[in-house]
Each structure stands twice: as C-alpha cells, then as structure tokens.
A and B are shown apart, each in its own frame.
Chain A
Amino acid sequence: MEAIAFYLFSAITIGMFSVVVFSKNALYAMSALAGGMIAISGFFFLLDADFLGAVQIIVYTGAVMALYAFGMMFFDTTKDVKENIRETKIINGLWIASFILLIVIVSVPFISDQIMLDAPLSDHKVIGANNPQAVGIFLFTKYLVQFELAAVMLLVAMIAGIILVSKKMDVSLTTTIDDEIEKEEFHIKDAK
C-alpha cells in the first residue's frame, strides 16, 4: 500500500515539476507547481510527518502560490514566455556538474551510514495525532532560538515586501542625474 502511494505521488510530482521547468506558459507552470506542492504534502503524510504536511499545504499552496498569483497579475501571463535559450558549452558543463551533484546526493548516504542522532525520540510517540504535539515541544524547547529568529526574519520579509511594492521606488535614485532631481525640486517650489 505504501509502495503504491509512493510511486503514485512520485509520478505526479516528477510530472508536475517537469511541466514547471519545461512549459512555455507561465500560468501552466504556476498551476503545475501548486499541484506538485500538494503531491509533496502527500509524501509528508506518508512519512508520518502530519504537521509538516499540513504546513506544506497551508504555506506553499496557500500563501506562496497566492503570492505568485498576485505577482503574476503584474506581468502578462497570457503570452508565451519568450526565452533566449542557447545550448552552449557552459550550459552543457553545468548540466554535467548537476549530474555529478545528483550522484553525490544519492551515494553519500550509503557511504556515511552513521548519522548522529540529535534528538532521538525512542521515548516519545511522534506519529499520527501525536506528531504536532511532539513538534511543538521540540520547537519551543530545543529550537526556541531558531524559532524566534525565523519569526523575526518573516517580519523583516513582510516589511520588505510591503515597502518594495507600495513605496514609490520605481525610479532609480542612483542612476537619476542630479539635474533631474534639481528640476523636480524647482517644480515643487513652483507648486508652492
């Protein structure tokens, strides 16, 4: 049963993400990305990480994809994306490098079997309904500092997002010539 679910979700995710990478239409890519995220949350439920699966659905398919959908309102998404893709030596070299990386990622776990357990949970039950409880206990004891740092980082990101989009920042101050700034100042004086 687990095998069926694993291979089904694998096929869905790989297919969806291939669409994201190779599709010409940005809207198709975004929809496929949302579908792939849902399938990935299926893996988390399969791996007894229930809370992580719920967070995956809420944060990724809820917040992140909504944010991307909002961002795509600014850009023209109905047209096909025109991309100047050149198959050069550099790209082929990077491909080879990526496959070397792939092999390393796959083979290192066989080589290094001894992973140090940082928080062994033989005495806790961390599966099923107890998973969110165990996650909460760890998040507020062992990982409290990281948790607070993540909270501050999200706050900074929120402020940055608001400032970047709402403030009048679509004129570059560094590339504007001084004369134009002076001219604008004159206009302000005239208006007064």
Chain B
Amino acid sequence: MITLTHYLVLSAILFAIGLAGVIRRKNLLLLFFSTEIMLNAVNIGFAAVSKFYGDLTGQMVSFFIIAVAASEVAVGLGLLVLWYKRTGTIDLESMQEMKG
C-alpha cells in the first residue's frame, strides 16, 4: 500500500537531487535543468497531497507552478543566449565581475 508518506519522501529525494545539482553545477544551462528538477519534485508532493486529502487545491498549485516554470524557461533561456553572445561562455564563474 502506497501512502502519502511514500510520495512525500520521493518528492524530498528528488528535491534534494535538484538542490545538489544547483549547489554543484557551474554551467548555467545545467543549473537551469536542476531548478526544473526541484520544481517537478514539488509538483509530485502537491499532487500526492491533493489525492490523499481529497482536495483539488494541490493540483491547482501544481498548474501554476508549471506556468511559472514555463515562463522562467522562456526568460531565462533568452538571457542565457544573450549572455553567450556577449561573453562567449555560459559558465557561472564568468559572471563574477567583482573579484572579492
């Protein structure tokens, strides 16, 4: 029998994987991938709560998260392409203009 706890633990594991990626990655494109993983992990948690409490609010929040993720990708990728045109690299370290 799969309970809510199973889904929440899975959601937490996926979120931790995404968080590890955000901490570890230095390439901006792969950093974006890691944020997508975190958003998806949260979506699973919301959908699971929605089912096990018989409430549709969780699914609604998931929809809005998907909308936010889609617009984030559009704007973020535009900025990334712009940065690549300007500097020729998408490395995170290239954004350190102040050496401190």
A residues neighboring B (CB under 8 Å)? 2-3, 6, 10, 13-14, 17-18, 20-21, 26, 29-30, 33, 36-37, 40, 43-44, 47-49, 51-52, 55-56, 59-60, 63-64, 67-68, 70-72, 74-75, 81, 83-85, 91, 94-95, 98-99, 101-102, 105-106, 109-110, 115, 117-122, 126, 134-135, 138-139, 142-143, 146, 150, 153-154, 156-158, 160-165, 169-172
Query: Is A36 a contact of B37 with CB atoms below 8 Å?
Result: yes
Q: How many residues of B contact A (CB 8 A)?
A: 72
* CA gap between A91 and B25 in the complex, in Å: 11
CB B89 to nearest CB in A, in angstroms, measures 9
Query: Is B60 a contact of A10 with CB atoms below 8 Å?
Result: no
Contact pick for B74, options A2, A81, A161, CB 8 Å: A161
Residues of B within 8 A of A94 (CB): 23
B11, closest chain A residue (CB): A105
* CA gap between A43 and B23 in the complex, in Å: 27
The 8 A CB mask of B88-99 against A (1 = contact, 0 = none) is 001101000000
Contact pick for A118, options B9, B55, B85, CB 8 Å: B55
- If A52-B43, A120-B55 are given as contacts, then 6 extra A-B residue pairs at C-beta distance below 8 Å, sorted by A number, are A3-B1, A29-B30, A47-B48, A71-B80, A105-B11, A117-B53
